[in-house]
Amino acid sequence: MRAACAPKNLKDSTFFMIRSTHVQPFLLVALVLLAFNGSVLAAKPVEIPEALRQAERERIETMQQAAPAVVAIFDPSGKGGGSGVVISPDGYTVTNFHVVAELGPFMKCGLNDGKLYDAVIIGIDPTGDVAVIRLLGRDDFPVATVGDSDTVRVGDMTFAMGNPFLLATDFQPTVTYGMVSGTHRYQFPAGTFLEYTDCIQVDASINPGNSGGPLFNADGELIGINGRISVEDRGRRNVGAGYAISINQVMNFLDHLKSGRIVDHATLGATVQSNSDGSVVVSNVLETSEAYRRGLRVGDELISFAGRPVRSVNQFKNILGIYPKGWTVPLSYSRENERFNVTVQLMALHRRAELVKDEVPDQAPDQDPDAPKIPLPEELHKLHEKKPEIPEEYASLWEERAGFANYAVNVDHRERILKTLDAWGDFSKQPEGWAIVGKLSDGKAADIRLQPTAVAAKLGESFAVQPLDQDFQDQPPGTGGLLAAIFHLRKLLTDPDNYFTEFYYLGSEPLGGTGPRTDVIIATKGLTTSRFFFNQQSGEFVGFDMSLEETVDPCRIRFGPLKSTNGISFPETLTVEHAGDLWDKLTVDSLQFFAPDKKPEEAS
């Protein structure tokens, strides 16, 4: 009887299977299709268009070309890690701060050449969740091609590469493919310093371990650094919403990070809100901010900021979040239908002590559990406290100092930049008395004397004196402290290490907000701070800003071409600006040196 019930043909067998309660639904569908459309069995193979095959080949080739620059980061103790991407042949690599926060100053990194490399911490940005490390042992590392994240559009195809769940133990990066789901996303700090601004949202799978890894566009250009995901039910399952820090933000901060410092973000010194008509207006502005000194007031409408239009509060925060503190950017605002165009220097987002203080607010209880935590100080200090075995050949590459992730790097950059001052000559061997003699733009005589106890000036018919044993003042009035600035210049050229309280490389920024990129050396003494600017391409010392204190407009001095006399070079002109206005342009006829007990003309 059992044999008689067996199916006699395919159609009978299909119905027999349908009656079974053990058959999976998808199998039933397949069998039905086979039973009622026998022509399927005899159909020719589907022809795949050549254009589709070519697109597939190009996609695979692009990923293969990108893979060599992708870094798998591992804790030498085996307790953690993440991803990164190499951006220069000498091994500089971008990753997330939360990836390296607990790894100590040295770590292990693998590339898809199958080799494991030592790496050293360089600089960190706890607010923006970015860090730079440097792979060691080569000067010809494969690098990613840096793209322009401002050109990214919703719907663009992207792929992420990295070390999810630390699976890349063979150093071969995992690839996930998807598209851009959103641009210019802003995610507020939520109880921490962490602030993801102007980031790229993607649906390519981003999972724990992908952090710090690259996000590429379809052409294989680096457009972001993967850092954060949205998760379901406070678990750690990706739900198709990953966020990458825009590469343009990273590039703004790159030289600051390469300085070896713990870097900070910027604030305008003002808060904004949206009106019912959609305008974005100032709700509060600090009187100590340069924005206030340039005229910004409560109720003013923001039109554009840093060259980008401002149409919402989030848009304003997105723009602001991509700049380091101290950058100068253009600002346009309106009041009673009158438009004002100014440039403003951005303030620090945090007090300096906040980045290294004893207690930093912990993560809010409702914070996304996969979001990187901005560290408590012990996490910051782990970079210094954790003492892994350091290869002897690399021991000199890291030095501990408060406020720095790696002070040794800063010293190297500072000395490299100061070497360009050799073009000015050796001022340290000259007598202590200086006389800068020339004329003002109206033809009147100018004579500035620097002596051991004071700086004095006769400018036309007016006199000004700055005693060196007193607090620096705005002398001559309206310059922002020209005499103090000239004294800072002399100390830079003669004895900076023994005079300035702090003397370090800051990073780079566009001069005046729109000029050429310049390396910046910071020098402080008491309340005064000078920012010395060196053209990044030519190395030329182009000028400096000297502030009597943080909350006042600086004296801005820009140099003309150098003129050489007896082995010493000095600018032919000094253009002096203060509070956004030109004070005067001093033409220098001569720089004379003299012993303090002699007049300039008596000096040899």
Is 33 in the same domain as 83? Answer: no
pLDDT value of residue 465: 97
pLDDT value of residue 353: 73
> Which residues sit opposite 133 in a β-bridge?
93, 121
pLDDT value of residue 590: 94
Domain assignment present for residue 47? The answer is no
Enter the tokens of residue 23: 């058959």
Q: Per-block average pLDDT, block size 10, for the chain (604 residues)?
A: 39 40 48 51 74 91 96 80 95 95 89 93 95 96 97 96 85 93 83 80 89 95 89 60 94 97 95 92 96 96 95 93 94 96 93 61 36 40 53 88 94 96 94 94 96 95 96 97 98 96 96 94 97 97 97 97 92 96 96 78 46
* Domain extent for 209: 65-264+353-405
Domain assignment present for residue 370? The answer is yes
CATH number at residue 220: 2.40.10.120
CATH number at residue 573: 2.50.20
Domain end, chosen from 300, 323, 348, is at 348
Domain assignment present for residue 322? The answer is yes
Domain assignment present for residue 145? The answer is yes
> Quick check: is 276 catalytic?
no
pLDDT value of residue 227: 87
Is 28 in the same domain as 112? Answer: no
Enter the tokens of residue 434: 């200086």
Is 215 in the same domain as 145? Answer: yes
Enter the tokens of residue 267: 């604030």
Domain assignment present for residue 50? The answer is no
Is 478 in the same domain as 440? Answer: yes
pLDDT value of residue 8: 40
- Residue 114 has, within 13 A of its CA and on its CB side, a CA count of 0
Domain end, chosen from 348, 374, 391, is at 348
Nearest of 556, 557, 485 to residue 523 by alpha carbon: 485
Nearest of 168, 137, 141, 174 to residue 69 by alpha carbon: 141
Tally Cβ neighbours within 10 Å of residue 441: 14
pLDDT value of residue 532: 98
Q: Which parts of 142-284 fold into alpha helices (H)? A: 247-258
Q: Determine which one of 83, 205, 211, 289 is catalytic.
A: 211
Tally of domains within the chain: 4
Is 318 in the same domain as 358? Answer: no
Domain assignment present for residue 310? The answer is yes
Residues 6+ apart with CB under 8 A from 58: none
> Quick check: is 384 catalytic?
no
CA–CA separation, 354 and 482 (whole Å): 33
CA–CA separation, 325 and 264 (whole Å): 6
Is 251 in the same domain as 278? Answer: no
Is 96 in the same domain as 71? Answer: yes
Backbone angles phi, psi at 397, to 5 degrees: -90, 0
Domain assignment present for residue 387? The answer is yes
pLDDT value of residue 350: 85
Domain assignment present for residue 60? The answer is no
Enter the tokens of residue 424: 């000015």
Is 245 in the same domain as 357? Answer: yes
Is 490 in the same domain as 539? Answer: yes
> Quick check: is 256 catalytic?
no
Domain end, chosen from 405, 438, 473, is at 405
CATH number at residue 336: 2.30.42.10
Residues 6+ apart with CB under 8 A from 96: 82, 129, 130, 131, 211, 212, 225, 227, 372
Is 228 in the same domain as 148? Answer: yes
Contact call for residues 109 and 85 (beta carbons, < 8 A): no
Is 17 in the same domain as 130? Answer: no
Q: Determine which one of 83, 98, 289, 530 is catalytic.
A: 98
Is 111 in the same domain as 38? Answer: no
